[in-house]
Amino acid sequence: MAFIDMRDLAVWERLPGWRGRFYRSESMTFAYWEFDAGASVHEHEHPNEEVWNVIEGELEVTIDGAAQRAGPGSAAIIPFNSRHAVRARTAGRALVVDHPVRSDASADLQNAGEHGRF
């Protein structure tokens, strides 16, 4: 079993206002995000199920055109191949999990200084 200390992972700002630490298991990709108020993730889709677990702050998550606010203790579950976007209403933190492993996560992991699989 592998253990990960998030403080040891490099931080990468993939989009303005989104600072992430990335890691993965055999079948999932994890992104621990710290976000600024007003930061947004453009509408997009991918062939992965994605779950946004809000730890702190408030996000507005839009899934297939329907927007809803998510605060601490909330999770937004985005089905496979669904159009979605995210906007930070306040500063905060979230853990985002994708299943199966995101094919584009390898670039994220390399850009964040993480190599290999755990």
Please report the domains of the chain, with CATH numbers, ordered by start residue: 25-111 (2.60.120.10)
Q: What percent of the chain shows pLDDT beyond 90?
A: 81
pLDDT at residue 51 in the model: 98
- DSSP letters, 22-59, are EEE-SS-EEEEEEE-TT-EEEEE--SSEEEEEEEES-E
The pLDDT of 104-115, averaged and rounded, is: 50
CA 81/CA 32 separation, integer angstroms: 22
The whole-angstrom distance between residue 20's C-alpha and the CA centroid of its chain comes to 8
Rounded percentage of the chain residues whose pLDDT exceeds 70: 86
pLDDT (0 to 100) of residue 2: 83
Residue 83 has pLDDT above 70, yes or no: yes
- Number of Cβ within 10 Å of residue 1's Cβ equals 3
Q: Is the pLDDT of residue 105 over 60?
A: no
Q: How confident is the model at residue 24 (pLDDT cuts 50, 70, 90)?
A: very high
Cis amide leading into 79 (omega within 30): no
The whole-number average pLDDT for the span 78-97 is 98
Task: Give 30-51 pLDDT, tens digit per residue.
Answer: 999 999 999 999 999 999 999 9
Q: What is the pTM of this model?
A: 0.85
